[in-house]
Copies of this chain bind each other. A is one copy, B any other.
Amino acid sequence: MFTILPIKGYIDQIDGFYCDGIHAGLKPNGNNDLGFIYTKEACTVAAVFTENRFQAAPLKHFLQYGENFKTNFVLINSKNANALTGKKGIESINTLFSQLDFGSFELINPVMSSTGVIGNPLPIEKLVAGAKKFDLTAKNGENLSRAIMTTDAYPKTCMYEVKLENGTSFKIGAVAKGAGMINPNLATMLCFICTDADAPYEDIKEALNINKDTTFNAISVDGDTSTNDTVMVLANGKSNAYDKEAFSEVLRLVMHDMAMLMVADGEGAKKVAAFEVINAKDDKQAEIAAKALSNSLLVKTALFGEDPNFGRIASTIGASRIDCDDEKLVISYNDVVVFNKGEICFDAATEAKAAEVLKKDKYKIICDIGLGDGKFTAYGCDLGYKYVEINADYRS
């Protein structure tokens, strides 16, 4: 048995982790754009990356270390993705690290994450000059959080404490950036999860892979679309506490929290809908339909308009090409059934109840395909006026 308690604060709360963020001159408005995470002793690190076939240079650089290496330093910058920069992009990271000097603080297998414009070379001089401002004993989680933000409306963090049966406990927390909806800015998703749990590499890798499909992949089209998407876990073991089941469960919670913060951060979004597809022919088909729904502009505008337009829901499912049959399909908004196996249940009373559900800021749209036992839940948000304003002004 174990208990998981949410606690306040940033990843700097965790024993042995240090972090900060500063302005290195990349963002024109003076905001933070360069940050770091540092640990004295090298950590176990595991990551999952974008499936975009053009992985950015920092991802390729990380992968050069091979499986199960240890690191004590993560450098993170915004405004430049160091993507589509070929071999030179990776070389520039090596050059950058070779020029960093933190005196008695030695860097062990340093890694990097970048987010921002694709196709421009990394501004090494500015980053080296900015890193001179780093104090590796700093515990400034909020500064780090702001340094990695690009189009985010707010910082995305969480912290948990896990108490194990034997009296030991460990902490785990995350700092992330990214927005879950399709938008012209293609906001890269970066998520750094730090823990003092004594978690082995294989367990971390396994838990990341088990949980990514129902969390980060459930808020996006294909799990990822940017060249830079990264989820990285750093475990320094300083608590000497660990339980496989507890760790997997709290990691799932952390990833779920971050994913929900991202999906709610669509420009101007006011609502989050869970598209619960059940009884599809198999899980894969359920996933295809659920993601088609969560990403459909048709559906998103109906959510914004608080319009129980089940015709769009059904049409989107049909367009996703999964096996389906209108004589078996059942569509509900929370517990209000609006379409039942070929019968439209849309009398005035039902329409009013459905409209009430859509006035809430969180609800489920349940689509029972009626052909098997496949299921998947995808999360999406509405398409609001603010999104539209931002698109119209995107050239400025």
Contacts and interface: CB of A to CB of B under 8 A. Distances in A.
Interface of A: 51-54, 83-87, 117-121, 182-184, 186, 222, 224-227, 297-298, 301-302, 305, 307, 310-312, 314-315, 317-324, 326-327, 339, 342-344, 346, 383, 385, 388-389, 391-392, 394-395
Contacts of A305: 394-395
Given A83-B311, A388-B392, 8 more contacts: A53-B318, A84-B326, A86-B326, A86-B342, A119-B346, A183-B297, A184-B298, A186-B298
B326 A119 contact: no
Given A86-B343, A392-B385, A227 B318 contact: yes
Given A87-B342, A339-B84, A339-B119, A297 B54 contact: no
B344 A84 contact: yes
A326 B119 CA distance: 11
Contacts of A52: 315, 318-319, 321
Determine chain A's interface SS by DSSP, over half rule. Answer: loop
A197 to B, nearest CB: 33
Given A84-B339, A297-B184, A119 B54 contact: no
A319 B222 contact: yes
B327 A86 contact: yes
B324 A53 contact: yes
Contacts of A227: 314-315, 318
B323 A53 contact: yes
Given A314-B54, A318-B53, A301 B83 contact: no
B54 A310 contact: no
A367 to B, nearest CB: 12
Contacts of A117: 311
Contacts of A317: 53-54
Contacts of A224: 319
Contacts of A83: 311, 315
Nearest to A88: B342
A315 B222 contact: no
A24 to B, nearest CB: 21
Contact of A324 (B54, B186, B323): B54
A385 B391 CA distance: 8
10 contacts: A86-B327, A86-B343, A87-B327, A119-B314, A184-B301, A222-B321, A224-B319, A305-B394, A388-B392, A389-B392
| Of A118, A312, A324, A385, most B-chain CB atoms within 10 Å | A118
Contacts of A311: 83-84, 117-119
Contacts of A391: 301, 383, 388
A117 to B, nearest CB: 7
Contact of A315 (B54, B318, B327): B54
A184 B302 CA distance: 9
Contacts of A315: 52, 54, 83-84, 118, 186, 225-227
A52 B315 CA distance: 8
Given A118-B314, A312-B118, A388-B388, A297 B394 contact: no
A94 to B, nearest CB: 17
Report, nearest first, the 3 A-B pairs whose CB atoms are least far apart: A118-B311, A86-B342, A54-B318
A28 to B, nearest CB: 18
Nearest to A386: B392
A358 to B, nearest CB: 13
Contacts of A385: 392
A342 B86 CA distance: 5
A395 B306 CA distance: 10
A321 B183 contact: no
